[in-house]
Amino acid sequence: MGTFFGSVDLIGAKSTVLLLNGMQVIKTTIAILLLAFSGSAFAEIVTLKCGTPPTQGFYLLIDASRTSARLVFDVYPKVISGKLELTDHHYQMNFPGSATRHEIYVLVDRISGKFFYEIGMPPFGSFTADNISQVGQCAGIENEAKP
């Protein structure tokens, strides 16, 4: 009889171990899924340096998960926030005007890195005499702050 009860305990122990292992698998799966989704949000932030030689140009910080973009010039002290529209081939950004600055439109080809930049009044892309436009090249850079 001692052997029989020992066998029952052993079977019960194996069942408990399998149940705990099953719960551990579920917990691990949930943790991996959470990390994967949060990691994909970080992976969608892109930093581009754009310009036309010999000018220094500007930087674009693109957050596709929030459909937002920030525009930073080498010589302008303020960061300009705008809206992002994402297509298969382009980043299209609109930065609203202010009392001291006109509205800005930027279109970047996601494959070639070429950009079209226009400052002035909508509609953009119509090449009016009142607006200033520029074309050039963007390149991805590491997102690191410098001292």
Give, for all 147 residues of the chain, the pLDDT tens digit.
444 333 444 455 544 444 445 556 555 545 444 444 444 444 478 999 999 876 668 999 999 898 999 999 887 778 999 999 999 999 999 999 999 899 999 999 999 999 999 999 988 888 888 899 999 999 998 866 554
Instruction: State pTM to two decimals.
Output: 0.67
Long-range contacts of 77-81 (CB under 8 A, 24+ apart): 80/104
Measure the CA dihedral 117/46/44/143, to 10°: -160
